[in-house]
Amino acid sequence: MLQCRYSGEITTFSNQGQNDNEIKQDVQSISTHFEHLANKEQSIESQKTNDALRQTLLLMETMVDTISEYERDFKELNTFVKNIQGEMENLNKEVTELKEQLVTLQNNKPCDKSTTAMVLDVIASVISKIKLNIFSLPLLQLQPTFNLF
């Protein structure tokens, strides 16, 4: 008499009374058990794939949000640059007017060199202050925009 142990049960096989149906049922039971294990393994792999896909989608959403923020920031920057360009045009007009006034001043009334130097110093200080207000201070306001890291 042959004995076989599986799933905690002892099954006795004998050539005399053993029925082919019982053997088929045992084989079917073992086969079903292995199919069940294979399905569980496939389910686990599928879940891992779904988690990876979910993480990828979240990363893509984050990238889209970041790109939208950059696009908005660069539109604001473009507007800001256009404003600076407008202020530069105004500054150029003022400088041209100052030059014309200097020419008029030099042509109408003779001035000594010290008076002309003083007027030029005043104009130079005014222009440097205008440049500071138009260029340096706005650029300091832009600094947080470029601190991306």
Q: Which domain holds residue 119?
A: 2-146
How many separate domains does the chain show? 1
**All residues at 6 or more sequence positions from 14 whose CB lies less than 8 Å from its CB, including other chains:** 1, 2
Long-range contacts of 135-141 (CB under 8 A, 24+ apart): 135/84, 138/80, 138/84
Distance CA 84, CA 4 (A): 91
Long-range contacts of 3-8 (CB under 8 A, 24+ apart): 6/30, 7/33
The per-residue pLDDT for 149 is 41
The per-residue pLDDT for 17 is 46
pLDDT in tens, 80-114: 888 888 888 888 788 788 777 777 776 766 666 67
Tell if the pTM clears 0.75, that is, is over it.
no
**All residues at 6 or more sequence positions from 73 whose CB lies less than 8 Å from its CB, including other chains:** 145
pLDDT in tens, 42-83: 888 888 888 888 899 999 999 999 999 999 988 988 888 888
